[in-house]
Structure 1
C-alpha cells in the first residue's frame, strides 16, 4: 500500500473553534448557573435524594417497607417478600434498567448522567456547600491561591465538615437498606454495632466523600464505563447538547447594539460562560465530547447571553445532528423502536412474574428407603416428606389435602401453623386399598391451602404433583 491508500479522510464538522478550559492544576471551578434546565436538574436531584434518605424509614404493616436482608436471604419490598428462588425477578429488573438506559440514551443522549445519576446528584450537592462556604468560582480560585489564614481555615474546615456529614448520612442510609434502620441507628449511636456493619457504613461514606468531593468528573470520564460506550447508542437523531457552528462562527466580542453581520461575526460573542459553568470543564463549541454529561448548564448560560444581546435563543441547545444540518429528525427509527419493544416485553414479563409470586411454597420428597409398604390390614402405604415454606413475614395456617386417588387415608396433620419466613418438614403417609388402584404407579396431587385468603384467590391454593406406588402388576 502507498501512503495515499493508507490515508483516512477526516471531515471537520466543528469549524474554526478553539478550546477554553477553566482549570487550575487540574481543578475545575464550576461557576453557578440558573435557568430552566438547572431548575429541572436541581428539583430532580432533591426529589431523588429525599427518596433515598426516606426510603429505609418507610413502614408497611408495621415493618420496614424496603429491606434487602442479605443475612436472612430475603428482600422485603412493601407487601412483597422476595426469597432466593425468586431472585430471577431482580435479574430481570437489572436487565430492564439496562435496556431502559439504552432507550433513553438513544433518544435523549446522556440525560441520565446529567440529571439523575447519583454521582452527578451528590457532586452538585457538594458544589452547593462549596459555594456557600467559599463563595463563587472566582472567590474559590482566589481562596485556594491565598495563604493559610483564619479565614481560609474556617471556610475550608466548614466545607469539609459539611461534606463529611453528608457522606456519613449517605453511608448510613445505604446500609439501612440492608440492615433494619432503627436497629442500625441505635447500634451506631451506642457504638455497639458489629465490625462489618460499622466498616461498610464508613466505607460508603468514604466513597461518597472521595467521589463527590474530590474525584467528581474523573469518575465519569475515567472510571464509569458508560461514558465510553455511550457513543455506540448515538445516531444522527439523538438529542445531545450541541453548538450551532454555522450560526455561531466566527465568534468574537462586539458592542451590544452592533450588527454582527456588518462585523463579519456570528452570534457567539465568545463570553466563555458556557465553559465556565460546565462541571466537566469542556468547551461544547469543540463539538460532541465523551466528557459531556448533557446537564444543560451551557444551554442555560448561552440562552441568557442571547437574551442580553437581543439574539434568538438556541445557539447551544438540545438538538440532533439532522436538525443542525437543516434536516428532519426521525423519532421513530428502527433502533429506538427495537429498544422500546424489548423493554416493553421484558416489563410485561416482570409484571406477570411479580404478580404470580405465591405467598407460600411446597416441596414433596418421597421416602428413599422403599417405594411402598404393605400394612397388616393389607393396605398399600407410601411415605412422603412435605416441606412447607411461609414466604410472608406473618404466622400463617395452612390446610393439607391430596387429590388423584379415591378413598385414600391421610396419615399426619392436615392443618399446620408456620411462622413467617420459616420452612417446616412434615412427615406424612398415604394409604389405600390396592383393589381401588388400576395401575402400579398413580398420579397424586398434594394441595396446600392458605386459610388466610379467600378460596377464589388465585394465590390461596398451591398444588404439587407426585407419584403413588403399589404392588399392582
Structure 2
C-alpha cells in the first residue's frame, strides 16, 4: 500500500498575486523590549522577602568577622577557605563536590514538585533583574510612561531620566562586583585600595568584569539570559510530569475569553472568567502569554497570578484562574504530591546530606601521607641495618600549629632514623624525607606492611595513621 502526497498546481498567471498574500517567516527576529507592569500581591511579597534576604546575605557576609576571622573568605594565595568559622583546604575538595551534588539533587527534587520556583524567587539573574526593574520603575515611571518615554524624541527630561537610571544601575553593578571580589580579597582592604589606586591589576579587572556583567545581564539582556543562555530552561522538561505543580492557566474555567462589563452576566454572554485584559502578559518578565499553556520561557515568578487575582477581585470572580496547579488537576484528575521520581530524588538528596554531615562530623583536621621511594628497593647502612627511604607529608588543617611525633610499627626493631618532633603551622604542608631502618633478623618477608603514626603533642586526640610497605632481601626457606 502506498500513500500519495497531494501537490498543488500553480498557475503562472495567478502566481504573482498569490505570492503577495503568502506569509513571510523570518528565521531571525529583532528583540522586542519587554515593558513589565508593576503588580502587587502575595507572590510579589514573597519574592520581596526572599530578595531582601538573599541580597542582605550577599552584601553583608563578606564584611562580617568573628574573632578576626571573616565569615566567608576564599584566600586563594594561601589555599584557605573560611566558611562560617571553619577553615577548609584543597584537601577538602570532596566536601565541595558533595555540596554541589546536594545543590543539584535539591534543584531536581524541588523542580519535580513545584517547577521553576528556583528561577522565580532565588536565581541571581531574577533577583538582580527585579532590582533593576524596580529602579527603572522609580525613575521612569509606570509601564505606559516608560513606553511613551522611549518613543518620544530626545529631550532634557528623557536624557535626565535615562542618565539617572543607568547611573543607578552602574552603581548597583559596581557594588555587586566589589562585593564579589571582596570574598576573595579582604573587602575592607579592597575598598580602600581600589579608590587609592593601590590594588593590583587583577582586583581592578575582576571588579570591572563583574560590574559590567551585572549591568548587561540585569539591565539590558534580562529575559534573554533566561531564554537563550540558561541551560536549566532547556533540560527542565525532563523533570516535569503531570503532577508537577507549575504556574498554569485554567482553560476550562477561563474559555471562551472575552471582554465584558463588570455588571454583565458571563453566562448570558457565553463567556468564561477570562476577560482578555492582557494583564498577565503585561506583568510577565519574559513576555509570554501563560494562557498558551506551559512554555519553557516561564520562570515561575507568579506575577501573572497576582495580576489575574487582582482582576478577578475587581470582577467579583473567584481567584485562581491562573494559579499553581498540576496538569492532572487542570484536567480534573487526582494529583499526587509524592511519586517514584520524587522519592528517587528525595532519597538521593537525603543520602548526600547525611554523607556530608557525617564527613564534617568525622573530619580530622590533619592528614598524614607516606610514599615509599621507588628509586631503590633497600640498602644496608654502616650499622648493618636494612634501610628504606620514604617521603612523609603532614598537612595541618586546624586553626593552630601542631607538633607531631612520628613513629613506625609493624616489625621488630623497626625505627625512624634521626627521629625528631615536627611542628606544622596552621594550613601548612610539611614534606619530610624519612629513613626507616630495621635489623636483618626482623625481616621475615621481602615485602612487609608497616604503619606510620603521627601523634600531636598539641592536641592529644589528634592521632594519624597510614600504611606503607617495607622492602627487604628475599629469604628463601622462611
TM-score by length of 1: 0.88
Q: Distance in 2 between matches of 1:440 and 1:324?
A: 75
8 A Cα contact 1:434 1:472, kept in partner: no
Matched, 1:168 2:169: no
Matched, 1:41 2:47: yes
Matched, 1:103 2:109: yes
Number of equivalent positions: 451
Q: Distance in 2 between matches of 1:71 and 1:41?
A: 38
Matched, 1:155 2:161: yes
Q: SS where residue 218 of structure 1 aligns?
A: helix
The 5-angstrom pairing of residues 399-414 of structure 1 reads 399-414=405-420
The 5-angstrom pairing of residues 343-362 of structure 1 reads 343-362=349-368
Q: SS where residue 269 of structure 2 aligns?
A: coil
Matched, 1:51 2:57: yes
Which residue of 2 is the match for residue 305 of structure 1? 311
8 A Cα contact 1:45 1:115, kept in partner: yes
Which residue of 2 is the match for residue 418 of structure 1? 424
Specify whether residues 384 and 282 from structure 1 end up closer, same or farther in structure 2 by C-alpha distance, changes over 3 A only: closer
Matched, 1:275 2:281: yes
Q: CA deviation at 1:273?
A: 1.4
Which residue of 2 is the match for residue 132 of structure 1? 138
Q: Distance in 2 between matches of 1:309 and 1:163?
A: 38
Which residue of 2 is the match for residue 17 of structure 1? none
Specify whether residues 298 and 368 from structure 1 end up closer, same or farther in structure 2 by C-alpha distance, changes over 3 A only: closer
Specify whether residues 30 and 445 from structure 1 end up closer, same or farther in structure 2 by C-alpha distance, changes over 3 A only: same
Q: Distance in 2 between matches of 1:408 and 1:30?
A: 78
Match for residue 334 of structure 1 among 337, 340, 359: 340
Q: Distance in 1 between matches of 2:327 and 2:192?
A: 56
Q: Distance in 2 between matches of 1:328 and 1:182?
A: 57
Specify whether residues 136 and 452 from structure 1 end up closer, same or farther in structure 2 by C-alpha distance, changes over 3 A only: farther
Q: CA deviation at 1:359?
A: 1.5
Q: SS where residue 266 of structure 2 aligns?
A: coil
Match for residue 465 of structure 1 among 464, 467, 470: 467
Q: Distance in 1 between matches of 2:56 and 2:457?
A: 40
Q: CA deviation at 1:471?
A: 4.6
Q: CA deviation at 1:362?
A: 1.8
**Runs of at least 4 residues of structure 1 off by over 4 A?**
367-370
Superposition CA RMSD, Å? 2.4
Matched, 1:204 2:206: no
Higher relative contact order (CA 8 A, sep 6+): 1
Q: Distance in 1 between matches of 2:372 and 2:56?
A: 52
8 A Cα contact 1:412 1:427, kept in partner: no
Q: CA deviation at 1:136?
A: 1.0
Q: CA deviation at 1:379?
A: 3.7
Matched, 1:93 2:113: no
Q: Distance in 1 between matches of 2:169 and 2:90?
A: 37
Q: Distance in 2 between matches of 1:108 and 1:94?
A: 21
Specify whether residues 226 and 376 from structure 1 end up closer, same or farther in structure 2 by C-alpha distance, changes over 3 A only: closer
Matched, 1:32 2:38: yes
8 A Cα contact 1:391 1:420, kept in partner: yes
Q: CA deviation at 1:374?
A: 3.7
The 5-angstrom pairing of residues 163-242 of structure 1 reads 163-242=169-248
Q: SS where residue 268 of structure 2 aligns?
A: coil
Q: CA deviation at 1:119?
A: 0.6
Q: CA deviation at 1:373?
A: 4.1
Match for residue 448 of structure 1 among 451, 454, 466: 454
Q: CA deviation at 1:151?
A: 1.9
Which residue of 1 is the match for residue 18 of structure 2? none
Could you tell me which runs of 5 or more consecutive residues in structure 1 were left unpaired when the two chains were aligned. Answer: 6-23
Specify whether residues 365 and 282 from structure 1 end up closer, same or farther in structure 2 by C-alpha distance, changes over 3 A only: closer
Specify whether residues 100 and 141 from structure 1 end up closer, same or farther in structure 2 by C-alpha distance, changes over 3 A only: same
Q: Distance in 2 between matches of 1:324 and 1:368?
A: 70
8 A Cα contact 2:402 2:459, kept in partner: no
Q: Distance in 2 between matches of 1:393 and 1:184?
A: 25
Could you tell me which runs of 5 or more consecutive residues in structure 2 were left unpaired when the two chains were aligned. Answer: 7-29
